[in-house]
């Protein structure tokens, strides 16, 4: 059991802890239920809940993640243009973003999907040190998509 100012009161029975809380006009708040014995604190529950929600809100504000950036290319992209796209991918991985790499086929390009596959292989090799393939390449209509995620 922990007091309002943070000092430890020692191990108390549940009834005794509730009695102490009632005498002081406070609530008995369970902090760590998984411990043996569970850790409880004397506190005003509404104030405790307000502070906990405030911390969670602050953490959510600072948390940036889960964004998926998309880069679209055509199968006949030039070598330098592809290197620029790979640089952009590396910047996104530095910001902890995922990247959906999409190859868009038009018309007769659909007959030469192997060009798209070789492009995918080039990109995989280029970013292998900073990212891994989270979703393997798959065709969705006229598009070949694959998803990269940054390495931890």
Each residue's pLDDT, cut to its tens digit, for the chain (152 residues) gives 888 888 888 888 888 888 988 998 888 888 888 888 888 988 888 888 898 899 999 888 776 666 899 999 999 999 999 999 999 999 999 988 899 999 999 999 999 889 999 999 999 999 999 999 999 999 999 999 999 999 87
User: Does 14-62 match 68-150 in CATH topology?
Assistant: no
Domain 68-150 fold is: Translation Initiation Factor IF3 (3.30.110)
Question: 149 CB contacts (<8 Å, ≥6 apart)?
Answer: 98, 131, 132, 134
Nearest to 98 by CA among 137, 127, 131: 131
pTM, to two decimals:
0.57
Q: Report the distance separating Cα 75 and Cα 129, nearest Å.
A: 24
Domain 14-62 fold is: Ubiquitin-like (UB roll) (3.10.20)
Give strand pairing partners of 80.
none
Every domain of the chain and the residues it spans: 14-62, 68-150
150, with CB counted inside 10 A (0-12, 13-18, 19+), is: buried
Q: Report the distance separating Cα 45 and Cα 68, nearest Å.
A: 39
């Amino acid at each position: 059991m922990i007091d309002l100012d943070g000092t430890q009161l020692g191990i108390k029975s549940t009834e005794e802890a509730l009695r102490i809380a009632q005498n002081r006009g406070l609530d008995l708040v369970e902090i760590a239920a998984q411990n043996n014995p569970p850790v409880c604190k004397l506190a005003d529950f509404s104030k405790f809940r307000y502070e906990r929600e405030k911390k969670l809100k602050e953490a959510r504000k600072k948390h940036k993640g889960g964004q998926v950036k998309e880069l679209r290319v055509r199968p006949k992209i030039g070598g330098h243009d592809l290197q620029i796209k790979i640089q952009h991918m590396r910047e996104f991985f530095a910001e902890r973003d995922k990247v959906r790499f999409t190859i868009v086929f038009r018309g007769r390009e659909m007959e030469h999907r192997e060009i798209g596959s070789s492009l995918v292989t080039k990109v995989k090799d280029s970013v292998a040190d900073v990212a891994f393939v989270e979703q393997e390449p798959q065709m969705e209509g006229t598009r070949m998509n694959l998803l990269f995620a940054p390495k931890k």
